[in-house]
Amino acid sequence: MRRLVSALLRKATILASRDPSTRYDLWRHLRCRFDLVEGEWLQRAKTAGRPRFSFIVAHKDCVEFLEVCVRSICAQAGAMEFEIIVVDDGSQPTDLGRIAKISPRISLFRFAEGGGHPNALQWLYCRARAPLVVIMDQDAVLLDDHWDSFLAEFERRPELLLIGVRDQCRLRNSPQMLHPSFILVHKERYDATLSPPFFFGPKPDEGNYRFVPEEAYYAFFCKALRQNADSIQYLEQYQTHYGFGTVAYLDRPDRRVIYHQWYSGRVHAFKDDDILEGFRVGDLRDATQRFLRDHRNGNVDLSPRTDPPEIQTKG
């Protein structure tokens, strides 16, 4: 029945859209919105009532970091009413049962085939039930409980749509760009005007922004800025002594909020001597394992740094 409905909707989409360039985006949005993607639920959260926060995570081939991410959410948000929704975007065979066992508040869905990161984000955002949605990368780690500060900011500024992290570590074409490791969205304010939330249909006014299909986060931010130029609240972000990751600070360096690993998923798909954005993959993989080991032992040092990373670069 799902295949039949999917085929009929696809045909209707093609007939309804006169512009061939928008047909795929519209069809992709319909599949995500109406749960017509091929896949299966591995676990549905056992939560009563509507949660206050929805944490959504798109996963691909990096279950070690996904576990650290999910455990950090459970540790830091334990006193709140929350849900965690994870979608596995067609990973290689991996043990996702260990993720499902972490908490009954986790919903876990697996795409039968990889649909791409923007598709996963759209699917997740449509299913977030809470008024406040926390979008996290699979390799991001919550560090402390500052939710009251975030809520106070939304109450103080009715025009505020989302809180994100200013990217100080990688060059972008605009200083307004945000790093996607941590985004807190006021969904009740955002959905009313911006639907669908990510990069579907006509592009936003590009201006000084650079778009590629994988950067759905940035289209998300651009739409927010177009709606209200003052609608985004920034956190600050600095490199750590690990070199290939960054730590975000809420107001000052003694109030750490989020830690983000760079390249953690992709390093598993390359050989040691391959070069990824100037870094030798073997060195990135070693640094990843060092972080995981230090994290398990409680020895993670995330103090800010401004000197170059301790990872070899090409040349």
Instruction: Check residue 262 and give its pLDDT.
Output: 75
Cβ distance 90 to 60 under 8 Å? Answer: yes
Instruction: Check residue 39 and give its pLDDT.
Output: 84
- Per the document, the length of the chain is 315
Q: How far apart are CA 242 and CA 285, in angstroms?
A: 12
Q: Which long-range contacts (CB under 8 A, 24 or more apart) does 26-29 make?
A: 26/200, 26/201, 28/119, 28/122, 28/200, 29/122, 29/196, 29/200, 29/201
| 106-111 and 82-89 strand pairing | parallel
Give residue 207's region: left, alpha or beta (phi > 0; psi -120 to 50): left
Q: How far apart are CA 211 and CA 217, in angstroms?
A: 10
Cβ distance 236 to 229 under 8 Å? Answer: no
| Residue 288 CA, distance from chain mean position | 19
Q: Which residues contact 197 (CB under 8 A, 6 or more apart)?
A: 122, 125, 185, 190, 191, 220, 223
Which has the closest alpha carbon to 246: 267, 233, 263, 234? 263
Query: Residues 51-81, buried b or exposed e (16+ Cβ, 10 A)?
Result: bebbbbbbbbbbbebbbbbbbbbbebbeeee
Instruction: Check residue 167 and give its pLDDT.
Output: 64
Instruction: Check residue 173 and give its pLDDT.
Output: 45
The domain made up of 41-262 has a fold known as Spore Coat Polysaccharide Biosynthesis Protein SpsA; Chain A (3.90.550)
Q: Which stretches in the chain have pLDDT values below 50?
A: 21, 169-173, 175, 201, 308-315
Give residue 233's region: left, alpha or beta (phi > 0; psi -120 to 50): beta
Instruction: Check residue 215 and give its pLDDT.
Output: 59
Instruction: Check residue 10 and give its pLDDT.
Output: 57
Instruction: Check residue 171 and give its pLDDT.
Output: 44
| Residue 76 CA, distance from chain mean position | 17
**For 273, how many CA atoms within 13 A lie in the half-sphere containing its CB?**
0
Instruction: Check residue 226 and give its pLDDT.
Output: 77
Q: Which residues contact 189 (CB under 8 A, 6 or more apart)?
A: 160, 161
Q: What is the pTM of this model?
A: 0.82
Instruction: Check residue 221 and give its pLDDT.
Output: 77
**20-33 helix and 2-16 helix, angle to the nearest 10 degrees:** 150
Q: How far apart are CA 45 and CA 4, in angstroms?
A: 28
With vertex at residue 109, the alpha carbon angle to CA 103 and CA 111, rounded to the nearest 5 degrees, is: 155
Cβ distance 225 to 190 under 8 Å? Answer: no
Cβ distance 73 to 102 under 8 Å? Answer: no
Instruction: Check residue 99 and give its pLDDT.
Output: 94
12, amino acid identity: A
